Structure 1
Amino acid sequence: MSTDPYLGDGYESHRIDLGADAEGPMIATLIHRRAPGAPTGRKPPILLMHGWSDYVLDRELMEHLGRNGHDVWGLDLRKHGRSLLPGQTATEVDHLNRYDAEIGASLRIIGRDRPPVLLAHSTGGLTAALWAQRNPGTVRGLALNSPWLEMHLGPVTRTLAQVPVRLLAERLRGRPIFPLGSDHYARTLHRDFGGAYDYDLALKPPGGHPFPAATLSAIIDGQRRLAAAGPLPVPVLVLHSAHSRLGPRFTEQMRRADAVLDVRTLAAAAAGLGPRVRIEAIPGARHDVFLSDADARSRALEILDDWLETSFPAAPTMRAPETAEGHGEPPQDRSGKEKPR
């Protein structure tokens, strides 16, 4: 491991090699907060996972969790953030199960006897929930920060969009399916646009990276699979803003709301995750509730701390995934062969 150039002193980054696809070698990046002394084992480790067109950047959140006794890690998925290599299509993936490779590798590095809580944001929340559903015993719980569990306006929209998006993805693959997004969300966050936070705009662009058609198809398919699956076998916390403010023009109300997802659809999908789900709406929170104004951020941390303290009184041993080692279940064509990436 080497000192992480984005989080700085006290943080190390470890490269995970993932083989290659048509664009060349692929990597993921595991970040670790160094802490004095060995973890006690009483509190579970925590592994942060970012959203689409994003990277692990919230040092204040990681420091807070570390001070509370957690061993803190973060994962930049392939073709995101620290893991995006020259010549690659940012965020491109054809199936969310591809991420099983880096999640599985990260859990092995953290330690099979120390299953973590996955603290996952937006699209990362969907990916984390799918992992937990298919690999029981490998994680202790899920803390989902505005997870993208369903399309805007709900399952009907997803069902109507699934086939045409898949057909477009087969034709466009890594090419964008949408025009470049607006900078509304970045204007609520980044110091250069009047926000309170500083992060690398090359890794998390103001309008997002161009959205690959293949990635949108993979997300819709992941939402379908999660909705059809049984209840999650672990405790789940879902945090989201109390309100959404979506629209083509920026308004000041977007600084105190989710300017990315419809929180009503999000909350309805979260309620279907299982019987051990705690859902909390945070007044004044943004899409990333931990990158909100001080009052909303403080409330989100208070709820997270309480849930972690009350949900995990002991630390069990991880059970190995039932899927193939670290790779999950890749998509197949009708002949049973794995599709090209």
Structure 2
Amino acid sequence: MSTDPVLGAGYTLHRIDLGSDDEGPLRASLIHREPVPGDAPRADRTPPVLLMHGWSDYVFDRDLMDHLGTRGHDVWGLDLRKYGRSILPGQTPTEIDHLSRYDEEIGASLRRIGRSTPPVILAHSAGGLVATLYALRHPGVVRGLALNSPWLEMHLGPGTRRLLERPVHLLARRLRSRPILPVGDDAYARATHRDLGGDYDYDLELKPPGGHRFPASTLKAMLDGHRRLAAAGPLAAPALVMHSDRTAITSRRGERPLHADTVLDVRSLAAAARRLGPRVRVVPVTGARHDVFLSDPPVRATAIEILDDWLATDLLAAPTMTGTGRTAGPDASETGAS
């Protein structure tokens, strides 16, 4: 255990050894926020929160983690193998052949957090898919899921996924960890990173503009995860799903891409979210980006309010209307995507 070199004082880093694969040793990185004077007291109503990142990403949002900590949550973050703090020399960033392999580091993290206090997993994009599949495979070990633009389905829905599955599987067998997709556009980084005109600071080596090159094996694993999720039964745990109210997958500079999801198809995302189970609140956040917490500050504040409200209501009680124009509970999802 040591001070986390990314978040600095007040955060500790715990390495999780995961054996090795054909690229060498494997590790994951568990980050813990130490409590400080002024934090609300911890109680059963404030479960631990474990943050998980998206594809080509890492855990870095100290302000959000501090916010949750001041409200009494025991706050943790997990960089999966071959992501962020966990990348080792010679490894292909983000490479995985099956999403269930992440069960090892998630399980180790939950044991460190404590089995008597099941956490909420707050997960973004591909991490949302990983966390949801984990909760389905291990009912009862997660208190709830708070999903930030989770990648629950392919663009344009199940039909696209079914068309892609066979060719991607064949290519992955041939290419393995070699890239199947080129580096993406940097519009998202231009909209979010402080040095490029945005409001937020993060490491452009660990979260590069346009993402890392996408390994063929990883795309195969994601498609397989989408298929398994579509065939799964309902979640036992309550879930919150936040996403932008619109998609704008384009490289053009302008206002709309700055206030929309430029990565995922929010219609397909929302449709898959509504099928997760009977205690799911689906909330489109007007003007949000792909990571709703990297939206313009007023939109980020709205997203944090939604998260706080869900943690204080839906997570602990029967689904109800919130009274704020947002809906919660079975069959009460908001859909406004365009």
TM over 0.5: yes
Residue correspondence of structure 1 range 274-285 to structure 2 within 5 A: 274-285=277-288
CA contact (8 A) 2:250 2:257 kept: no
1:268 to 268, 271, 276: 271
Q: Which residue of 2 aligns with 1:305?
A: 308
1:187 equivalent in structure 2 = 190
Q: Per the alignment, in what secondary structure is the counterpart of residue 219 of structure 1?
A: helix
Q: Do the aligned residues in 2 keep the contact of 1:43 with 1:312 (CA within 8 Å)? A: no
How many angstroms apart in 2 are the aligned matches of 1:39 and 1:30? 20
Between the aligned residues of both structures, percent identity stands at: 68
The match for 1:178 is 181
Q: Report SS of the residue matched to 2:152.
A: coil
Looking at structure 1, the residues matched to 88 and 182 of structure 2 have their Cα atoms a distance apart, in angstroms, of: 23
Q: Residues of 1 paired with 2:8 and 2:44: CA distance?
A: 26
Equivalent position of 2:332 in the other structure: none
Tell me how far apart the structure 2 counterparts of residues 138 and 11 of structure 1 sit (CA, whole Å).
24
Aligned to 2:4: 4
Tell me by how many angstroms 1:248 deviates: 3.6
1:162 matched residue in structure 2 = 165
Give, as a single letter, the amino acid of the residue that structure 2 aligns with 1:146: S
Q: Out of 39, 48, 63, which is 1:45 matched to? A: 48
Instruction: Report whether the alignment pairs 1:60 with 2:63.
Output: yes
Q: In structure 2, what residue type is equivalent to 1:206? A: P
For 1:16, the aligned partner's letter is I
Residue 220 (str. 1) matches residue 223 (str. 2): yes
Per mean C-alpha deviation after superposition, the further-off stretch among 31-40 and 268-277 is: 31-40
Contact 1:158 1:220 in 2 (8 A): yes
Tell me, what secondary structure is at the counterpart of 2:313? helix
Off by >6 Å, runs of 4+ in structure 1: none
How far apart are the structure 2 equivalents of 1:174 and 1:109?
31
Partner of 2:94: 91
Shift of 1:224: 0.4
TM-score scaled by length of structure 2: 0.91
Matched, 1:296 2:294: no
Measure how far apart 1:42 and its partner are: 3.5
CA distance in 2 between counterparts of 1:250 and 1:207 reads 15
Q: Report 1:220-239 matches (<5 A).
A: 220-239=223-242
Contact 1:126-1:222 within 8 A present in 2 as well: yes
The aligned counterpart of 1:21 is 21
Q: Distance in 1 between matches of 2:266 and 2:76?
A: 27
SS of corresponding position for 2:190: helix
In structure 2, distance between residues paired with 1:196 and 1:185: 12
Structure 1 portions without partners, runs of 5+? 315-341
- 2:251 and 2:316 mapped to 1: Cα distance? 46
How far apart in 2 are the matches of 1:249 and 1:255?
A: 10
Query: Whose RCO is larger (CA < 8 A, sep 6+)?
Result: 1
Residues 253-289 of structure 1: CA deviation (Å, up to 9, x unaligned): 2111111111111111101101111000101111000
Computed over aligned residues only, the root mean square deviation of the Cα atoms, in angstroms, reads 1.2
Partner in structure 1 of residue 247 of structure 2: 244
What's the CA shift string for 1:209-252, capped at 9, x where partnerless?
A: 00000000000000000010001000010000111111243333
**Any unmatched runs of 5+ in structure 2?**
318-338
Q: How many residues align?
A: 314
Distance of 1:288 and 1:273 partners within structure 2: 20
Per-residue deviation, residues 126-183 of structure 1 (Å, max 9, x unmatched): 0000000010011000000000000000000000101110110010010000111110
CA contact (8 A) 1:258 1:285 kept: yes
* Aligned-residue offset at 1:312: 3.8
1:124 maps to which residue? 127
Match in the other structure for 1:197? 200
Task: State the partner residue of 2:320.
Answer: none
Task: Indicate if the aligned counterparts of 1:241 and 1:257 stay in contact, CA closer than 8 A.
Answer: yes
Q: Would you say the 8 A contact 1:50–1:124 is kept in 2?
A: yes
